[in-house]
Amino acid sequence: MDPRPRPLPALRTVRANGVTLAYRETGPATAPPLLLLPARGESSADWAPVMGPLAAHRRVLALDPRGHGASEYPGTYSFPLLRDDVRAFLAALALPRVDLVAHSLGGIIACLLAQEHPGLIRRLVLEDVPAPLPLATPRPVPERPTGPLGLDWRMVLATEHPRNHPDPAWWERMERADVPALVLAGGPTSVVDQSTVSALAERLPRARLVTVPAGHHIHAEDPDAFLAHVLPFLTADAPGDGPANAPAHEPAGEAADEAGSN
């Protein structure tokens, strides 16, 4: 891959689920759509190392979830709400079906979406995503860093308890996420317990687990390896795949309350 940094696409905004969400878009407008969800605390800019190659043959949309980056900071946060935002975002942009790549806790949002609305997702890539299981050693509540933040700290506090004690239904319903999935594990240097990544891959009905020993941020630390696994997976055909931009058995619905961009 060309090591030279590429300029990021300009930010756009759309109203969805009662909030203003920011996102970046690149690639051919008529190409199959690919949605990127960042880790908690990151933004669409985090996908810069791989956004260009992914957009060679895809319409790539990288989202700032609510409370992240340039999106609205409404003060109300939960994983189900973040999931509903994604569904509303897809509806606002008239995207009935997408491929979805999600990193870390962004992957929990993706899994919840796949459980409730599997028809919205053609193929799913989960990058070093921990299974939503109670932590053996709960994480302490983090202290707010000094200086400016590219996120709403209230979002961090609101989502910390579900990280330690997730809703048991999230795990029980994981088998509903019946979509082809590629689970990438970061290996022994990752900050995520790799046994939980493996457990998630085993729980998903149609998942394949691949370890890329690059740590937690595979797409940033080893973008070539990341792309070497993700691109073939996205372009491979599986029974029932169909076009990424065509409706499956479930339409996107009228989840957005208002759509527009600037």
Domains along the sequence of the chain with CATH: 11-138+149-235 (3.40.50.1820)
Q: What pLDDT does 253 receive?
A: 36
Burial (CB count within 10 angstroms: exposed 0-12, middle 13-18, buried 19+), residue 177: buried
**Using CA atoms, how far apart are residues 108 and 254, in angstroms rounded to an integer?**
23
**Using CA atoms, how far apart are residues 101 and 213, in angstroms rounded to an integer?**
19
pLDDT band at 185 (very low <50, low <70, confident <90, very high): very high
Q: What pLDDT does 243 receive?
A: 57
Question: Percent of the chain having pLDDT more than 90?
Answer: 79
**Using CA atoms, how far apart are residues 163 and 41, in angstroms rounded to an integer?**
14
Q: What pLDDT does 3 receive?
A: 52
Q: What pLDDT does 256 receive?
A: 36
pLDDT band at 145 (very low <50, low <70, confident <90, very high): confident
Within 10 angstroms of residue 140's Cβ, the number of other Cβ atoms is 8
Q: Crossing angle for the helix pair 79-92 and 105-116, nearest 10 degrees?
A: 70
* pLDDT tens-digit series, residues 237-251: 755 565 555 554 343
pLDDT band at 25 (very low <50, low <70, confident <90, very high): very high
pTM for the predicted model, two decimal places: 0.89
Q: What pLDDT does 199 receive?
A: 97
Q: What pLDDT does 245 receive?
A: 59
